[in-house]
Amino acid sequence: MGESLVREGWTGPGRRDGVVVPLAPEEDGLHIDTHRKGIYEWWYFDAHMETGQTLVVFFYAANPNPGAGGKPGIEIVLLRPDGRKTRRLVPYSRSDFEASRARAEVKIGENHLKAEQSAEGLPVYEVHVKEQELGCHLTFKALVNGWKPGTGVSRFGEMGTFAWVVPVARAQVEGTIEDGDQVLQVRGVGYHDHNWLDFPFQSIIDYWMWGRIYSQRYTVSYAFIQCNEKVGNHAVKVLMMADGREVVLSTGEFEFRKENFDYDPSAKHSYPKRVTISVPNELELGLDVRRVLEGQDMLENFSLPLRLIAKHLMRLRPGYFRLESDFEIDVTRNGIANREKGTALHEIVMFRSAR
Report the pLDDT value the prediction gives residue 69, as an integer from 0 to 100: 72
Report the pLDDT value the prediction gives residue 299, as an integer from 0 to 100: 63
Given a cut of 70, the residues of the chain with pLDDT beneath it are: 1-4, 66-68, 299-316
Report the pLDDT value the prediction gives residue 201, as an integer from 0 to 100: 82
Q: Burial level of 332, CB count in 10 A (0-12/13-18/19+)?
A: middle
In contact, 341 and 215? CB cutoff 8 Å? yes
Report the pLDDT value the prediction gives residue 314, as an integer from 0 to 100: 45
Q: Burial level of 68, CB count in 10 A (0-12/13-18/19+)?
A: middle
- CA triple 36-195-215, angle to 5 deg: 170
In angstroms, the CA 43 to CA 4 distance is 30
Report the pLDDT value the prediction gives residue 210, as an integer from 0 to 100: 97
Structural domains of the chain, ranges and CATH numbers in brackets: 1-13+25-198 (2.40.370.10), 200-355 (2.40.370.10)
pLDDT single digits (tens) 90-111 = 999 999 999 999 999 999 999 9
What percent of the chain has pLDDT above 90? 82
In contact, 147 and 247? CB cutoff 8 Å? yes
